[in-house]
Structure 1
Amino acid sequence: MAESDKVFAGSIPKFYDTLMVPLIFGAYAADTAALVASFSPGAVLETAAGSGVVTRALAPQLRADARYVVTDLNQPMLDYAASRQGADSRIAWQQADALALPFADAAFDVVCCQFGAMFFPNRVAGYAEARRVLRPGGRFVFSVWDRIEENAFADDVTKAVATVFPNDPPRFLARTPHGYHDVALIREELRRAGFTDVVVETHEKLSCAPSARDAATAYCQGTPLRNEIEARDASLLQLATDRATQAIASRHGAGPVAGKIQAHVIVAAG
């Protein structure tokens, strides 16, 4: 993973939240929130919270006496998430690295992480930290994207942007968000981190956008793919977005567009 893959700053948090969240994250966030809430936890830790889509869905479903600690490695994303959340005395916002959590052992009933594990430089270390801060009987709930070929818009955008930079195609989407999809590997790394009970389910959903332009802008300007494009030639960001728009429109239509997305949802315990 390139260092730029972890940089969510500048205008990215706003584009991410206003475009990417409704495009691909919202529906999975609702599922994650319902799953976590079904355990009736008294203390929840969320890592890699991003712009707070799970936080907004989960907080209303937690007990009145629950404690909810929301963290992210990127302070700009955490600040944006906090700005979107209504006042809630149960929630504490804290910048934190999921690989070195600043919390005591056995402090939480549930640790949740939606689409963040793919960004961990050392996933076994991240999983071990989640296990360390879980109480006996606690659960680690997280999700990762399936391979890019199972996620239509991401695949379309990656191929289209490659035509702008044929000698050095930006591969952020394939490399990182969609680069950790091997279920056998996920199970093995959780086992190495000390988890003994692992359930993996694969969920297909439909990603919808008002237009091909909205979907293309979400990926090209609301994710670290933007960093890769601008590192090559910032003047070509609009061209890359245009090419992605054309690719999505040619495959999915000129009006409102819809494409398949697919992800693995994991619950680990033990």
Structure 2
Amino acid sequence: MVATDKVFAGAIPEIYDRLIVPMIFEPYAQDLADRVARFKPENVLEIAAGTGVLTRAMASRLNAETRIVASDLNQPMLDRASARQPEDSRIVWQQADALALPFEPQMFDVVACQFGVMFYPDKVQGHKEAYRVLKPGGHYFFNVWDRLATSDFTQVVTSALEEMFPDDPPRFMARTPHGYWDQKAIRDELSAAGFRSIAIETLEKSSRANSARDAAIAFCQGTPLRNEIEARSPTGLEATTEHVAQALMQRFGSGVIEGRINAHIVAAVR
């Protein structure tokens, strides 16, 4: 991981929320929220809440007495999330580093993380922090993307960027979002953090965008790929986005586009 992989600021939060979330995150947020709700927790910690897609899904399912602390490393993402969420006294928004959570031990019945674990510089330390703040018998749920080859849109985007920048292609998507797919490594690192009863399920969904152009904007301008593109070509963001859009259109057609995507759903018990 490089430093810019964790930077979700500037124009990124709005584009991310408007285009990326419905395209790839929404279906998995509904699934993860269902899994959390089955245990009827009283206190939930969400890590890497982003713009709140999982927060909203959990809030719609959990009891009126349930308390949700929704945290993220990037305050601009939380600002976007809290602005989108209807007033709900159950939810507290809090900036927090997943590797040094500002909470007392054994505070939560459930810790949940929607596509955030891949960003941890130290995976075992992040899992240890989740373990520390969970009550005995508490549940840790997270999802991570499978390998890049299982994501149709992302694979095309990555290849198109290799064409634009052959000497130094942006590798954010392969390096970080799709960089934590090895199930054995995940199990080993959870075990090292103290977790037991580890279960991993691979779930295939469809990613959809209203157009190839929307999908290109989503990836190139609404994720930290933007930081890499602008570092290589300070005035080339629009041209790069258009190149990616053409590649997506050539593969998936005009109008609404749809592609396969896979994620691992991980559950562990303290």
Q: TM-score, normalised by structure 1?
A: 0.99
- Paired with 1:66 and 1:262, the residues of 2 have a C-alpha distance of 30
Q: Deviations over 1:129-178 (max 9, x none)?
A: 00110011100000000011100111100110121111110000000000
User: 1:242, CA displacement in angstroms?
Assistant: 1.0
User: Which AA in structure 2 matches 1:4?
Assistant: T
Contact 1:43 1:68 in 2 (8 A): yes
State yes or no: 1:199 paired with 2:218: no
- Aligned residue for 2:46? 46
- Aligned residue for 1:186? 186
- Paired with 2:226 and 2:240, the residues of 1 have a C-alpha distance of 10
- Paired with 2:65 and 2:211, the residues of 1 have a C-alpha distance of 42
- Paired with 1:204 and 1:243, the residues of 2 have a C-alpha distance of 28
Contact 1:49 1:72 in 2 (8 A): yes
- In structure 1, runs of 5+ residues without a counterpart are none
* 1:242-261 → structure 2 map (5 Å cutoff): 242-261=242-261
Q: Deviations over 1:29-87 (max 9, x none)?
A: 01111110111000000000001000111112111111110100001101111111111
- Paired with 2:83 and 2:32, the residues of 1 have a C-alpha distance of 21
* 1:1-270 → structure 2 map (5 Å cutoff): 1-270=1-270
Residue 220 of structure 2 aligns to a residue whose secondary structure is helix
- Paired with 1:256 and 1:102, the residues of 2 have a C-alpha distance of 43
Contact 1:164 1:239 in 2 (8 A): no
Contact 1:161 1:170 in 2 (8 A): yes
Residue 86 of structure 2 aligns to a residue whose secondary structure is coil
User: 1:100, CA displacement in angstroms?
Assistant: 0.4
Q: Deviations over 1:2-51 (max 9, x none)?
A: 00000000000000000000100000001111110111000000000001
- Paired with 1:184 and 1:6, the residues of 2 have a C-alpha distance of 25
Residue 98 of structure 2 aligns to a residue whose secondary structure is coil
- Paired with 2:108 and 2:194, the residues of 1 have a C-alpha distance of 17
User: Which AA in structure 2 matches 1:218?
Assistant: A
- Paired with 1:225 and 1:14, the residues of 2 have a C-alpha distance of 15
Residue 121 of structure 1 aligns to a residue whose secondary structure is coil
- In structure 2, runs of 5+ residues without a counterpart are none
In terms of mean alpha carbon deviation, does 248-257 or 38-47 score higher? 248-257
Residue 234 of structure 1 aligns to a residue whose secondary structure is coil
Q: CA-atom RMSD, angstroms?
A: 0.7
- Paired with 2:67 and 2:60, the residues of 1 have a C-alpha distance of 12
Q: Deviations over 1:79-138 (max 9, x none)?
A: 111111111111111100011011111100000001000000001000000011001110
User: 1:243, CA displacement in angstroms?
Assistant: 1.2
User: Which AA in structure 2 matches 1:149?
Assistant: A
User: 1:238, CA displacement in angstroms?
Assistant: 1.1
Contact 1:44 1:112 in 2 (8 A): yes
- Paired with 2:36 and 2:262, the residues of 1 have a C-alpha distance of 20
In terms of mean alpha carbon deviation, does 22-31 or 237-246 score higher? 237-246
Residue 50 of structure 1 aligns to a residue whose secondary structure is coil
Question: Number of residues paired by the alignment?
Answer: 270
Residue 65 of structure 2 aligns to a residue whose secondary structure is coil
- Paired with 2:82 and 2:16, the residues of 1 have a C-alpha distance of 15
Q: TM-score, normalised by structure 2?
A: 0.99
User: Which AA in structure 2 matches 1:181?
Assistant: W
